[in-house]
Amino acid sequence: MMFNTIEEALQEIRAGRMVIVVDDEDRENEGDLTMAAERVTPEAINFMTKEGRGLICIPLTGERLDQLRLPLMVQENTAPYETAFCVSVDAKHGTTTGISVPDRAQTIRALVDPAARPEDFTSPGHVFPLRAREGGVLTRAGQTEAAVDLARLAGLVPGGVICEILNPDGTMARVPELQTFAQAQGVKLITIKDLIEYRIRREKLVKRVAQTWLPTRWGRFRASLYASEVDRKHHLALVMGEPSPGEPVLVRVHSECLTGDVFGSRRCDCRTKLDLSLDLIAKEGKGVFLYLRSGEKDTTLVSKIRAYELQDEGLEDVETHERWGSKEDLREYGIGAQILVDLGLSQIRLMNNPRKIVGLDAFGLHVVEWVPLREGPAT
């Protein structure tokens, strides 16, 4: 069974039906039954309880949780993936003990009711709100954010209902079991990865905020600063010459590497690639060097130094990369592609390994040539 499209999933969400959302294989690799909170019914909660078997939670935006004055369950979150549980609640009105299926459905509907106020809930209760990060799956690739994104994209109140799917023996269901479950129950199956790709191809993620001339040892560049609408990080585009629309242009998309770019670390070739690409642009007198800021806070630097530490202990590079995650970030390249489009590019001569930058055609960018920076594969 193949995964369904995001468009198919949105039709289901809009109609008040559930879908299964599959986590990334590098995270929990779980599948959650997911639906829009404003469409919840007692029958849906009963199905999640009997067939899903996991904990039922209610992902909501931070704005909504602040309106209801529902704080985080703990101030110091030590969970592996920092799932942001808030204090549990019951609705004051229309419920009895709070634990019955109709009571929980009533509480969930109240949580997304614009007329509901903080005084309409009691705590602790039997319903568990989760605080989604601003920016959704483009900020955190989690089930919490996926549920809120799906409801919003379906044109509904941005709040969801999720429940992990367990096997009958109580173990976590993985993709093969989830596919069987989806076929047996007639439920659509999607991935968070596809949801991320759907959003970056349809939403404007960057905004040009400043521009100036920058003299360098390679020559004079027009420096354009872009702000990400997702996480407020800033990215820098250095443009030499005046690329014309439709003209093939030299392009290097370079991810930030503090140890290599600044200190010339011999453990990577980042500084070498930076120098070689700017040398080529200077030689031709025209081209774009796009410098993407990487990582959330200082996690990229932490991962890099820890990877070096593992190498010191004898781990091979491949093992180190698998453990600390050196995969190219789809969101990063989506932002990069949108910057290149904003600069007016359409035909590019790419100074990156094209296997690592895929899907550019969806943005109207066409790689007409791969320009290696040295013998062997470029990175």
CATH assignment at residue 262: 3.40.50.10990
Same domain, yes or no: 122 and 175? yes
Same domain, yes or no: 361 and 252? yes
Same domain, yes or no: 22 and 34? yes
Owning domain of residue 355:
204-294+329-370
Same domain, yes or no: 164 and 218? no
In a domain, 301, yes or no: no
Same domain, yes or no: 158 and 24? yes
In a domain, 318, yes or no: no
Q: What is the pLDDT of residue 356?
A: 56
pLDDT in tens, the chain (379 residues): 589 999 999 999 999 999 999 987 555 578 999 999 999 999 999 999 999 999 999 999 999 999 999 999 998 888 877 899 999 999 999 999 999 999 999 999 999 999 999 999 999 999 999 999 998 998 888 999 999 999 999 999 999 999 999 999 999 999 999 999 999 999 999 999 899 989 988 998 899 999 999 999 999 999 999 999 887 889 999 999 998 878 999 999 998 988 889 998 888 888 999 999 999 999 999 999 999 987 554 556 776 777 777 777 776 554 444 444 444 466 677 888 899 999 999 999 999 876 556 567 778 889 999 999 874 444 4
Q: What is the pLDDT of residue 212?
A: 98
Same domain, yes or no: 184 and 286? no
Same domain, yes or no: 134 and 231? no
In a domain, 322, yes or no: no
In a domain, 378, yes or no: no
Number of domains observed in the structure of the chain: 2
Q: Which of these is catalytic: 271, 329, 342, 349?
A: 329
Cα–Cα distances in angstroms (integers) from residue 318 to residues 18, 163, 325, in the given order:
39, 35, 10
In 3D space, the residue among 374, 375, 349 whose CA is nearest the CA of residue 274 turns out to be 374
Same domain, yes or no: 176 and 284? no
Can you name the residues that pair with 115 across neighbouring β-strands?
Answer: none
Alpha carbons 252 and 29: distance in angstroms, whole number = 33
In a domain, 69, yes or no: yes
What 8-state DSSP symbol labels residue 7? H
Core vs surface per residue 52-83: b (16+ CB within 10 A) or e: bbbebbbbbbeebbeebebeebeeeeeeeeeb
| Residue that terminates a domain, selected from 177, 201, 225 | 201
Cα 271–Cα 274–Cα 276 angle in degrees, nearest 5? 105
Same domain, yes or no: 239 and 125? no
Q: What is the pLDDT of residue 237?
A: 98
The tokens describing 285, both together, are 């007198």
Q: Residues 281, 282, 285, 288: is their CA dihedral positive or negative?
A: positive
Residue 73 belongs to domain with CATH number: 3.90.870.10
Whether 152 is a known active-site residue: answer no
Same domain, yes or no: 64 and 161? yes
| Residue that terminates a domain, selected from 201, 216, 232 | 201
In a domain, 347, yes or no: yes
Q: What is the pLDDT of residue 316?
A: 58
Alpha carbons 323 and 319: distance in angstroms, whole number = 6
Q: What is the pLDDT of residue 301?
A: 72
In a domain, 349, yes or no: yes
Phi, psi dihedrals of residue 351, rounded to the nearest 5°: -100, 35
Query: Residue 240, by phi and psi: left (phi above 0), alpha (psi -120 to 50) or beta?
Result: beta
| Residue that terminates a domain, selected from 201, 219, 240 | 201
Alpha carbons 329 and 313: distance in angstroms, whole number = 27
Same domain, yes or no: 120 and 210? no
Q: What is the pLDDT of residue 27?
A: 54
Q: What is the pLDDT of residue 375?
A: 45
Q: Which of these is catalytic: 331, 349, 361, 374?
A: 331
Whether 329 is a known active-site residue: answer yes
In a domain, 377, yes or no: no
Same domain, yes or no: 248 and 193? no
Q: What is the pLDDT of residue 101?
A: 98
